[in-house]
Structure 1
C-alpha cells in the first residue's frame, strides 16, 4: 500500500474529513505538506504513521481513525506527538 501513496493525495479520516495533503512518504510515515500545519505548529512538517492507513481510494488516503483522532496522532518533525489540547 505504501507504494500507492503519492504526493498531493488528500489524507482523510474514516469519517471523510480532510486531515492533510501528502507531501511524501518518509520511511513508515506520511509527511504532510507544510500548508497543512496550523497554529503554534505552523511551519513544521507533520507525520502520520502508515499503520493508521486503512486504504488508498483513487486520489485519497483513508485513515482507520476519524479526523479528530488522527490529528492528535500526528507527529512533528521532531518525532514528538503534537499536543493539540
Structure 2
C-alpha cells in the first residue's frame, strides 16, 4: 500500500506498461487531478487512487497499462 501524501505536484504517472499516462496537477479528495497539457482535449481529468500501485523515484506507477488508465479517467 502506498501513502497518498507521497504523491506531489508535477510527478509523472506511468502505466504498468511503462507508458506515460499524465502528470499530477494536484490531489483532490480520493483522486489525482491530471494536468491539462497531457490531455488531447486540454481538459483536466482525474484518476482514482485505487489505480496506484506504488510511488517511487518521483513517479507514480499504476496497476493498469496506459490504455486502461486513459479509459478509467474521469
TM range (shorter): over 0.9
Q: Distance in 2 between matches of 1:68 and 1:37?
A: 13
* TM-score (ref. length: structure 2): 0.93
Structure 1: unaligned runs, 5 residues or longer: 76-85
1:6 to 5, 8, 20: 8
Q: Distance in 2 between matches of 1:72 and 1:43?
A: 16
The residue number in structure 2 matching 1:19 is 21
Any idea what SS the aligned residue of 1:30 has? strand
Of structures 1 and 2, the larger Rg is shown by 1
User: Relative contact order: is structure 1 or structure 2 higher (C-alpha 8 Å, sep ≥ 6)?
Assistant: 2
How many residues were matched structurally? 72
Q: Distance in 1 between matches of 2:64 and 2:42?
A: 25
Any idea what SS the aligned residue of 1:43 has? coil
The residue number in structure 2 matching 1:33 is 35
Tell whether 2:71 aligns with 1:72. Answer: yes
Structure 2: unaligned runs, 5 residues or longer: none
Any idea what SS the aligned residue of 1:24 has? strand
Q: 1:43 Cα deviation (Å)?
A: 2.9
Q: CA RMSD in A?
A: 0.7
